[in-house]
Amino acid sequence: MKIQNALIKSEHQRLSISKISLIIAIFFASIAGYAYFAFIPRFLYAKGFSEGQVIFIMTWMGIGMAIFSWLFGKISDTSGRRKLFFILALFLQVIVLSLLNLSDHIVFHCVLNFFRGLILGMRMPASNALFADIVENSNKKDKVIINLETIEVSGTQLSLLSATKSTGWAVGVLLSSSLIGIFGVDSLVLFLVITTTISLIFAIPIRDIKKNDKIDKESDTNSTEEKILPPKTSTSENITSRKKSKVKLILFISVFFRQFGVIPFIQIISILLFTAGIPDELAGIVIALNPILQIVAMVINGRLIDNPKISEKLMLAVGFTLSTLALLCYGIGSSTGLIFYFILGQISLGFSWGCIYTGAVKYIVNHAPNDRAFYTGIWITNLQIAKITAYQIFTFIWISLLTPAMTLPFATIIPLIGLILVYWL
């Protein structure tokens, strides 16, 4: 008994170390990732690229993510080597970020952003699924079970992952905006390289839970098959399992419309603020309101969604409504030049994504326990297809027809399509 208790305690310690290491690694990766997302348009704008060219360059990152996210997610599920994908992606990201100042040619930056998208497609499904695996494994250790049924990952537990990313976003935007204000926009590159390297260092102690579980199950087959009898109603249980593993297509379609309407304006928010005459330091604070409020939203929503009366569908519907409100505020702020409306828009945006992300991630994680990385990859691919499509259409409109401020009133309608579609989830 003492040996068994010691083994259980040791296993809990290993899981705790893996969880803490992964959270810290994701935190620093988010600092770099969101600082890149927020200020690489300013970096490119300073190099002489127009707003339309900036959007075109950023499109290639979306193409890379759209092509490879689901593929790397599927490979991660089948091989169980999530840690390998996570660490390899961070290592390659350091190399890509180091090359940002090598050339000012538009083709070079398009290629570089494509490879960055490929790397994100490798890292994000693996890290999300690895976190869910660690939490699920920890839940199993806390509950003595003798069957192979999957323990549900709660919204509260998932909110830790979401809040970590949002905190990284806020810290990344605030730090990078301060550095840009003091040392200039070229200091962004060194900041990105350093934070990604720190993330890589903390990723090393992580334990690859799914890979180790596969090995353990194979080695324990002979010893457990005499103790655990096969279920008598295997057919009905298989049907139940297939139902639980089904993720409805309507989830991806509804979120597609939200992203299509919102993302192009989020991407150029730093340019909108800059052209409105707002200093970079204040712009960084305004941009950081989005992720800061996402932290609050993720924590609150993670607890709310565990309430049986609050469904993933309701959480998504609230998110779509707030997305429309955010675009409306952006439009008023762009036409009046008042920072108040940008602040109100960022508040709405932060809570909107907090609702959408919490609802969607819990739905995916618990409806497809054996294919988490794959469906996370599909989720990311869907977001990138929406982004790519929106970039192309809005780039054409902004270059040849209307200014961003003039298109915002029309864009406010688009997330409402997702609000209607989510009814059938």
Most confident of 106-115, 226-235, 238-247: 106-115
CB count within 10 Å of CB 345 equals 27
- Can you tell me the distance from the alpha carbon of 424 to that of 189, in angstroms, rounded to the nearest whole number? 44
- 270 by Cβ neighbours in 10 Å (0-12 / 13-18 / 19+) ranks as buried
Query: Percent of the chain having pLDDT more than 90?
Result: 27
**Could you tell me which of 313, 336, 322 has the C-alpha nearest to residue 422?**
313
Task: Please say if the pLDDT value at position 147 is more than 50.
Answer: no
Overall average pLDDT of the 385-403 stretch: 84
Domains of the chain: residue spans and CATH: 11-208+247-424 (1.20.1250.20)
pLDDT band per the 50, 70, 90 thresholds, residue 242 = very low
pLDDT band per the 50, 70, 90 thresholds, residue 234 = very low
Task: Please say if the pLDDT value at position 90 is more than 70.
Answer: yes
On whether the CB atoms of residues 90 and 196 are closer than 8 A, the answer is yes
Three-state DSSP class for 371?
A: coil
Residue of 285 and 11 predicted with greater confidence: 285
| Predicted pLDDT of residue 239 | 41
Q: What is the mean pLDDT of the chain?
A: 81
| Predicted pLDDT of residue 392 | 82
φ/ψ region of 48 (left if φ > 0, alpha if ψ in -120 to 50, else beta) reads left
Task: Please say if the pLDDT value at position 144 is more than 60.
Answer: no
pLDDT band per the 50, 70, 90 thresholds, residue 162 = confident
pLDDT in tens, 326-383: 999 988 888 887 888 999 999 999 899 888 988 888 888 878 767 878 888 888 889 8
pTM over 0.85: no
Overall average pLDDT of the 205-216 stretch: 66
**Could you tell me which of 303, 263, 308 has the C-alpha nearest to residue 404?**
263
Task: Please say if the pLDDT value at position 228 is more than 50.
Answer: no
Whose tokens are 């499109």? That residue is 59
Alpha-carbon dihedral of residues 275, 278, 281, 283, nearest 10 degrees?
Answer: -70
| Predicted pLDDT of residue 229 | 44
pLDDT in tens, 19-54: 899 999 999 999 999 899 888 888 898 888 887 788
pLDDT band per the 50, 70, 90 thresholds, residue 196 = very high
The set of residues, in sequence order, having a beta carbon less than 8 Å from that of 316 and lying 6+ positions away, is 251, 254, 255, 355, 356, 359, 360, 418, 422, 425
Residue of 51 and 94 predicted with greater confidence: 94
Task: Please say if the pLDDT value at position 211 is more than 70.
Answer: no
Q: How many angstroms separate the most distant Cα atoms in the chain?
A: 75
Q: Give the N- to C-terminal CA distance of the chain in Å, as an integer.
A: 48
Task: Please say if the pLDDT value at position 148 is more than 50.
Answer: no
Whose tokens are 């003091």? That residue is 182
Task: Please say if the pLDDT value at position 8 is more than 50.
Answer: yes
